[in-house]
Amino acid sequence: MQEAEAALETFAIGWEKRYPRVVESWRSNWPRLSSFLRYPEPIRRMMYTTNIIEGYHAQLRKVTKTKRVFDGDKALLKLLYLVQQRIANEQWANPLLNWRTIYLSIEILFKDRLTHLD
């Protein structure tokens, strides 16, 4: 955590004159921005390398951006449903790399929140 604060100060020294509001925002929101540093490295890596919702939305936009006109709301919903089915079958079928390690770390940190199917 101290290394991150030192890096923030190094960042501030180089950029504060040019972007004072950005540096001030980082400093004032530091407790929230740095909260992910409390998690073990495998969980942190998962958090900053996989943005599942943004990726999902990007795939939906990719399909719908070329289609300008739909017959109605139902046609759009059908298309989005089919895209979602394809995404679920092709991409969400594979587990994350090192998922077992990540899951065990989550299990230790949040043991009271996880429910097991025993």
* Residue 72: alpha-carbon gap to chain centroid: 32
Q: Domain extents for the chain?
A: 1-38
H/E stretch holding 94 reads: none
**Integer-rounded Cα radius of gyration of the chain:** 21
Q: Is the pTM higher than 0.85?
A: no
Q: Both tokens of residue 89?
A: 């079958």
pLDDT in tens, 49-105: 667 778 888 888 888 888 777 788 888 889 899 988 988 887 777 777 788 888 888
Q: Both tokens of residue 80?
A: 């989005």
Q: Dihedral through CA 20, CA 23, CA 25, CA 29, nearest 10?
A: -160
SS3 readout for 15-27? HCCCCHHHHHHHH
